[in-house]
Amino acid sequence: MLLCGGRRSINPSEISSRILAADRVFESYPEIDSVHVSTPWDYEGAYLALEQALTDFTEPFDGVFGLSDTLALAAYDYGVTQGLLHDDSLIVGINGDPLAMTAVWNGVMTATVA
How much of the chain, in percent, has pLDDT values that exceed 70? 93
Q: What is the pLDDT of residues 89-98, one digit of tens each?
A: 999 999 998 9
Statement: residue 13 has pLDDT above 70: no
Sorting pLDDT into bands at 50, 70 and 90, what band is 47?
very high
Alpha-carbon distance of 87 to 26, in angstroms, equals: 23
Given this model, what pLDDT does residue 64 score? 96
Statement: residue 24 has pLDDT above 90: no
DSSP H or E segment with residue 2: strand 2-4
| Contact of 4 with 67, CB cutoff 8 Å | yes
Q: With the C-alpha atoms ordered 6, 35, 21, 107, is the resulting torsion angle positive or negative? A: positive
Given this model, what pLDDT does residue 15 score? 64
The DSSP result for 34-95, as a single string, is -EEE-B-SSHHHHHHHHHHHSTT--SPEEEEEESSHHHHHHHHHHHHHHT-EEEEEEEEEES
DSSP 32: -
